[in-house]
Structures are given as C-alpha cells and as structure tokens.
Amino acid sequence: MELKALFYKLSKSLSKKSRHKIERINRSENLKKREVLNGVLNHDLDAVVVEGFLSLNKCSQIVDARSGLSQELRNEIPFGTVYGKTLVGSGDSMEEYFTRARQLNEQIVEVLEIDILKELRSLLNIDVSTAFQNGDPYTVGTIRSFFPQKGGLHAHAEAEFVHTLSEFNQIKNWVDIETQINYLLILQEPEEGGELVLYDLRWNQTPNELKSNQGFYNHYESREAIINKYSQEIIPLKTGDLILFNGINIWHAVKQITGKTDRITFAGFLAKEKEGSNYVVYN
C-alpha cells in the first residue's frame, strides 16, 4: 500500500477510536468491583460489563419460563416482542401501565424465578427497590425479544424521552433523573448481529435535528443518516452478562440481528432517589 493511503487509513481508524470509559469485570471478582461499580453509578464511567452475572443455566430457564407469563403482558412491537409495558409510550395509558406493572413484577419473581432487585442489591451493595407512585409499583424491567431482520433498535439517548414525555413527570419528582442508568441483562445472545453500540455523541452535544423524541418513531431514517456520522463502539455481550451504562446521556442503538436466533434481554433503569441514598428501578 502506498504511504499516503496507509497514512489515510491509519488516521481514519484513529479518528474512529471511541472515547467511552468502559470497564469489564467478572461477577466473582471482588477487589476492584466496588470502585468500578460506583464509577458507573456516579457516571464517572460510561459503562460496566459484569461478565457472567447470571449462569447460562439460569438464563435458559428464564427464557423457557417466558411461555408461562400471562399473554396480556405480551406486546408486539416492530422489532420483536416485549413482556410488560414501558413508561415510554404509556403517556396516555398510565392506568394500564400500572396494572400491567404490578402483574409483571409478580410474575417475574414467581414465573421467571428471578428477583432482579435482590441481584442488583447484592452486586452493587446499595439499597435498590421498586419505584412507586401512589401505592402503584412501576415495572421493574421488561423482557424483550428482538427478532432477526427487524432492524434492531433505533438510535436514541434516554434524555430525549425523560425530558419531553409526560409519563416521566411523576418519577422525576422522586428520583434525580440525571443519575439514571440503564441496566441490561443478556438472557440469550443472538447467533449473529444484535450488538449494543454506543455512539461518540452525548446529549449535551446533540445537534437540534436529532433532539426530537418523535424522531425515534417517525423520523429514524433521517436521524440514522445524521447519527451514523459519529463513530460507534460495539460492546460485545454474551449470554449471562449484565451491562450498566449511561444511556440517558450517550446515544446508543442495537444493530440488526442477522443470525437465526432472537436476542432476548431483561432491561430497565436505575436511578437515585432525591431524598436519601437509595436507588429505585423502573422501566
């Protein structure tokens, strides 16, 4: 290769280098864990991957047990199926949201046999509970299957939802919304594709044409053209891994799944209460 071409290739790959601060730890690793996990809770780190958070056996038990969840909890979405209602999109149907949240939270423990609050508490060594509104629990997390060839999940940063959608008004009275982080547990990694990508773009640097929450649903093609100018960091995740990441600020997406198997995850948000030092989960 000619020197000039080599130089061009090198400078291009350097300019694509990610600027995210990401750590990977193993669940059984205890020493540096505390500092790293506090780092992501404080947003000093952009993401922490906890490898082997759940055993492969436990993940496949949960995947199989999904067939025992009530069918009214199942929602078809353009890119797959979600068990449970998410706050995003529930603005006009909060009553339905809370009915389903109570039902799903019970079935997560009884049918899927996972207590996500207990798991997060023991990992993070902090008090984690379900967020409540007037005695009604929020969904602790949703179980999502993304299907092959359905386009993955469009690029977004949670800031665009939490600052503009009415469904976040109440929770914002209770939690310091800026502390929100995403938790995502991989229950079944896809055969191919379906990677989580973090863009080299934060909410406070976001150009106005990307800043419309309606864009996520209605204008994603034109948004993709803009967001794809920013470099992307692929985060390799395997079945049983948990990632905690600063999704409120960092633009992220899920790539198209190209293999034959679904990508199945359990995901939600974690944020610090305004009063005291407890964390709550919701989705």
Contact positions vs ligand AKG (CB under 6 A) = 153, 158, 182, 184, 196, 247, 252, 254, 265, 267
- As measured in angstroms, the least distance from the Cβ of 66 to ligand AKG is 16
> Are 274 and 213 within 8 A, CB to CB?
no
**By Cβ distance, which residue is nearest to ligand AKG?**
196
> Are 162 and 177 within 8 A, CB to CB?
yes
**What are the DSSP calls for 129-176, one per residue?**
EE-EETTEEPP--EEEEEPTTS--EEEE-THHHHTT-GGGTTHHHHB-
- As measured in angstroms, the least distance from the Cβ of 35 to ligand AKG is 25
- As measured in angstroms, the least distance from the Cβ of 72 to ligand AKG is 22
The burial of 136, by beta-carbon neighbours within 10 Å (0-12 exposed, 13-18 middle, 19 or more buried), is given as: middle
Nearer to ligand AKG by Cβ, of 35 and 178: the residue is 178
Nearer to ligand AKG by Cβ, of 101 and 153: the residue is 153
Nearer to ligand AKG by Cβ, of 123 and 270: the residue is 270
Q: Residue 99's CB: how many other CB atoms inside 10 A?
A: 14
Nearer to ligand AKG by Cβ, of 117 and 270: the residue is 270
- As measured in angstroms, the least distance from the Cβ of 108 to ligand AKG is 16
- As measured in angstroms, the least distance from the Cβ of 247 to ligand AKG is 5
Element counts in the chain: helices (H) and strands (E)? 9, 16
Amino acid (one-letter) located at 236: P
- As measured in angstroms, the least distance from the Cβ of 235 to ligand AKG is 8
Q: What share of the chain is helix, strand, coil (3-state, %, to 5)?
A: 35, 30, 35
Nearer to ligand AKG by Cβ, of 28 and 194: the residue is 194
Nearer to ligand AKG by Cβ, of 112 and 196: the residue is 196
- As measured in angstroms, the least distance from the Cβ of 196 to ligand AKG is 4
Residue-wise burial string across 236-251, b where 16 or more C-beta atoms lie within 10 A, e elsewhere: ebebbbbbbbbbbbbb
Nearer to ligand AKG by Cβ, of 105 and 182: the residue is 182
d(CA 16, CA 165) in angstroms, rounded, equals 33
Which is nearest to 178 in space by CA: 31, 43, 68?
43
